[in-house]
Amino acid sequence: MNTINKTMSKTIKLITLGVLFSQSMAVSAATEVNPEHKGRNDYFAKSYQPLCAMPTKVIATASTLDAASQQEFILDKQLGFDTKLNAKGETYIQLAIKEWDEKFIVGVTPKVQVTMAGADVLGADIVNLQCEKQNQYLTHLNTHEWGSYTLKLTGKPNEAVKVQIITTDL
């Protein structure tokens, strides 16, 4: 009987240690920050902070590249949308860029990919650490000329997506 109690006691201790180790690793992984994200967040803090609380409005965006030209949005300081990806997991937003060498940051729902033909991507999939809830991925884009550019968002089919765009001088 004594041997059984000792064995059970050791087993319980091992299970407890395993659970504590797992919890510790989960907390460590959740709080571990990519050093590149930390550096960018420090440098761009004044640009990233407004994206956390930027108002959005519900917009049905284009589900095809051709349809995007029928619905153009002027990029003037900031834009905010709540939209939905199509059944293929895509949506298109045509932006009218008014300035030469325009730099802007696009904040989106995590795991949504941002691309824009004709623009330089200067950073992508950066977690916005300036927000209380870190539920925004950032992409830095730079266009070299004024004109129309189409932003393509790709994610899960029919996914609800928040899109927040802000121009920056940096």
Per-residue pLDDT of the chain (170 residues; tens, 9 = 90+): 555 555 445 544 444 334 333 333 333 333 455 666 678 788 889 999 999 999 999 999 999 999 998 998 888 889 999 999 999 999 999 999 988 899 999 999 999 999 999 999 999 999 999 988 878 999 999 999 999 999 999 999 999 999 999 998 87
How far apart, in whole angstroms, are the C-alpha atoms of residue 85 and residue 135?
A: 18
Domain co-membership, 12 together with 53: no
Total of domains in the chain? 2
Check whether residue 5 and residue 75 sit in a common domain.
no
What per-residue confidence (pLDDT) applies to 133?
81
Q: Same structural domain for residues 15 and 53?
A: no
Question: Is residue 87 helix, strand or coil?
Answer: coil
Q: Are residues 28 and 40 in the same domain?
A: no
pTM given for the model: 0.77
In our burial notation (b when 16+ CB lie closer than 10 A, e otherwise), range 6-28 reads eeeeeeeeeeeeeeeeeeeeeee
Q: Same domain, yes or no, for 50 and 125?
A: yes
- What pLDDT is recorded for position 8? 47
Phi, psi of 148, deg, nearest 5: -95, 135
The CATH number of the domain where 118 resides is what?
2.60.120
User: Which pLDDT does position 11 carry in this prediction?
Assistant: 44
Residue 140 and residue 152 in one domain: yes
- 103 and 156 part of one domain: yes
What is the extent of the structural domain holding 82? Answer: 35-167
Residue 75 sits in the same domain as residue 152: yes
